[in-house]
Amino acid sequence: MANVITSVSNKIVDESGNVYNSIRQLSKELGVSRKWVSKCLNRDGYFKVNDVAYVLKSVGLIQPVFEKEPTLFDDAEVGGTPEQTVAPHVIEVEKPREDEKEYQEFRRMKEDIKSVNDLPVMDYDFHLAKHKNGTRYAVALFSDVHLEQTIEKESVLGKNEYNLDIAERRVRKYFNNLVLCLNDDRVENLIFACLGDIINGLIHESYLASNSLMPMDAVIKGQSLIYSGLRFILKNTKIKKLLFIGVIGNHSRTTKKIWSSGAYKMSYEYLMYKNIESFCKTEGLPIEFVIPSSDKAIVNMDDGNIFLFEHGDAVRSTGQGVCGIYPALGRYRLKTHENFGQTKLFIGHYHQCCQMKGVVVNGSIVGQDNYALRNGFAYEPPAQMYEVYDSSIGLLNTRQIYCD
């Protein structure tokens, strides 16, 4: 008789492996009483009819030996007793896994696979080949430093703190991280774009009390930091060509309102950019300068890219809302594209690092201030935007350069 391994106690199995779902079903098929079957199962754990042994499915039988085969009486249901038998050798067995069939197939497959070569995959041969890259160049934005602005920690609920020492430290950190990025990306040419608001200025009366420097002193400190940063880049990278873009911001004006024409004539930053140009030319640094009389600068790249740079205060947002400044950026990009056909627009002013199709918005170095907190603008760490291009491929990477 074969071993029987089962798991459900209310079922019965014979020595051939046939399973009966209940005592009622088996009794009906064999023509014996249910009472007798139950009595045999409770007493001996099995019973035998017509030389076929039956046992509960939760019990396994190993070659039971009968000294005397039982006989059945028709009156068993009314008290008849079958002949006594010797109980077979019964053992308990481990219940099988529900996924026993799949598990055993997995075991057999695992044993058959002796090495990686036996795996059912195709082996492709790859060869390392260096891509013939074009010229790598980067666009590094620098704006919204607000150098002489003072932000007390308590006034912005501990979100930020800003003064001359912190401003200088963040500018130093920016140039340090920029050099690391330029070297890691193997950049050969660099567009360094100052997009305005390097100084905080006096466009609001409250700045008279909060600024740590007057505008001219702020210009002197700002131009010194930028000039030193440019020299630091040329000394510590393999940059072959450096293009300096200088567009004015709205905070550097000396007028109460923004002039639509000739605004550069009344801007501290225009003077600052011109001073930086003079310093670099006097020292003979290999830097080309684009300092427009307009509030915009256009650069035509050799790879066909047309970059448009401006401060960004001309982008009129209807409010933050759920979409933020993105709808306004999309409308403004389309308007400027009709006039200039630029492939990318770079702006600052909004103090938040973000991008969308054809537009990159720079962050700030000053960080969260009272104006941003009062208007519910989200906090952002001090950072500036940076992009890397390959002249034969296009845009490779856009990232933030953190300054704190």
67-to-86, 88, 156 alpha-carbon distances in Å: 6, 10, 96
Distance CA 367, CA 346 (A): 19
CATH number for the domain that contains residue 342:
3.60.21
CB atoms within 10 A of CB 4: 22
Which pair of tokens denotes residue 240?
């072959």
Tell me, yes or no, if the pTM score tops 0.75.
Answer: no
Of 243, 277, 291, the C-alpha closest to 139 is 243
Which pair of tokens denotes residue 47?
């019973």
Q: Based on the fold, state whether residues 253 and 174 are members of the same structural domain.
A: yes
In the prediction, which pLDDT does 244 show?
98
Q: Based on the fold, state whether residues 85 and 214 are members of the same structural domain.
A: no
In the prediction, which pLDDT does 74 show?
46
Q: Which residues contact 12 (CB under 8 A, 6 or more apart)?
A: 19, 20, 22, 23, 26, 54, 55, 56, 57
Q: Based on the fold, state whether residues 211 and 103 are members of the same structural domain.
A: no
In the prediction, which pLDDT does 76 show?
43
Give the full edge-to-edge strand order of the sheet including 12-14: 19-20, 12-14, 52-56, 46-49
Q: What DSSP designation does 398 have?
A: E
- Is residue 127 a part of any domain in this protein? no
Q: Based on the fold, state whether residues 94 and 141 are members of the same structural domain.
A: no
Q: How many CA atoms, within 13 angstroms, populate the side-chain half-sphere of residue 240?
A: 7
- Is residue 17 a part of any domain in this protein? yes
Q: Based on the fold, state whether residues 346 and 232 are members of the same structural domain.
A: yes
CB atoms within 10 A of CB 315: 21
Do the beta carbons of residue 144 and residue 362 sit within 8 Å?
A: yes
Q: Which residues contact 125 (CB under 8 A, 6 or more apart)?
A: none
User: Domain containing 231: what range?
Assistant: 136-402
Residues in the chain: 404
In tens digits, the chain (404 residues) has pLDDT values of: 343 333 344 578 877 778 887 888 888 888 888 878 787 777 767 778 877 888 876 654 434 444 444 444 444 444 444 444 444 544 444 555 666 777 777 777 766 665 656 666 677 888 887 767 789 999 999 999 999 999 999 999 999 999 999 999 999 999 999 999 999 999 999 999 999 999 999 999 889 999 999 999 999 999 999 999 999 999 999 999 999 999 999 999 999 998 988 999 999 999 999 999 999 999 999 999 999 999 999 999 999 999 999 999 999 876 555 577 889 999 999 999 999 999 999 999 999 999 999 999 999 999 998 888 887 788 899 999 999 999 999 999 999 999 98
- Is residue 227 a part of any domain in this protein? yes
